[in-house]
């Protein structure tokens, strides 16, 4: 089944002007729980993270734009140039952007950048075992479960397994896509 790509979703520069919205989103349980935040977010920490992401070559971060409106972030870190690998994470902060293909399209566009422009060989991620929506998106984009990190994720007061998933550049290159236009 082809990956459905929206034409109204793009990636843009992650800017300090997005900090207040980002902070509001990471205060939401559905976002902070999925990210596994270990400290309470503040505007100072949020601005510092944006500045660090802009300055470091070891982090690639983009804003997800839906109809030019900022709705979330995609991030690659733990970049290993020798092995040509990076860890991936994503979140849609704006609840209206969820379950509409916005995240799938943003992830696809980000993967295309790192595989084709940055020549990575592999992208990997971890996702907690109960995050069915994320696992479905990652699987549809070609990620495969490569292992289980037993009880490595804390959600509230519970320990959950985390799935280690990976995607190789050759696998990504064979994905079929379908442009669904603006109203998908």
* pLDDT tens digits along 91-124: 898 989 999 999 999 999 999 999 999 999 999 9
The CATH number of the domain holding residue 14 is 3.40.630.30
183 has a pLDDT exceeding 60: no
Question: Residue 124 in contact with residue 165, Cβ under 8 Å?
Answer: yes
137 has a pLDDT exceeding 80: yes
The reply to whether 184 falls in a domain is: no
Q: Residue 32: pLDDT band by 50, 70, 90 thresholds?
A: low
Mean pLDDT, residues 61-73 taken together: 95
The H-or-E segment that residue 97 falls in is: none
The reply to whether 99 falls in a domain is: yes
Between CA 24 and CA 18 the distance in angstroms is 10
Total count of domains within the chain: 1
Per-residue confidence (pLDDT) for residue 85, from 0 to 100: 98
The reply to whether 134 falls in a domain is: yes
DSSP letter string, 21-69: HHHHHHTSHHHHHHHT--S---HHHHHHHHHHHHH-TT-EEEEEEETTE
Residue 75 domain boundaries: 3-179
The reply to whether 150 falls in a domain is: yes
The reply to whether 52 falls in a domain is: yes
């Amino acid at each position: 089944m082809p990956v459905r790509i929206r034409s109204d979703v793009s990636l843009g520069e992650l800017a300090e002007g997005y900090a207040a919205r980002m902070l509001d989103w990471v205060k939401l349980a559905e976002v902070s729980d999925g990210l596994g935040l270990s400290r309470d977010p503040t505007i100072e920490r949020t601005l510092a993270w944006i500045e660090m992401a802009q300055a470091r070559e070891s982090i690639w971060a983009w804003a997800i734009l839906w109809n030019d409106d900022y709705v979330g972030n995609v991030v690659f870190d733990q970049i290993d140039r020798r092995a040509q690998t990076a860890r991936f994470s994503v979140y849609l902060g704006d609840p209206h952007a969820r379950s509409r293909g916005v995240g799938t399209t943003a992830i696809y566009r980000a993967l295309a950048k790192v595989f084709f422009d940055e020549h990575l060989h592999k992208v990997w991620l971890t996702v907690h075992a109960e995050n069915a929506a994320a696992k479905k998106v990652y699987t549809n984009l070609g990620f495969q479960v490569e292992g289980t990190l037993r009880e490595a994720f804390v959600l509230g007061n519970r320990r959950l397994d985390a799935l280690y998933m990976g995607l190789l550049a050759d696998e990504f290159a064979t994905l079929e896509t379908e442009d669904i236009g603006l109203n998908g």
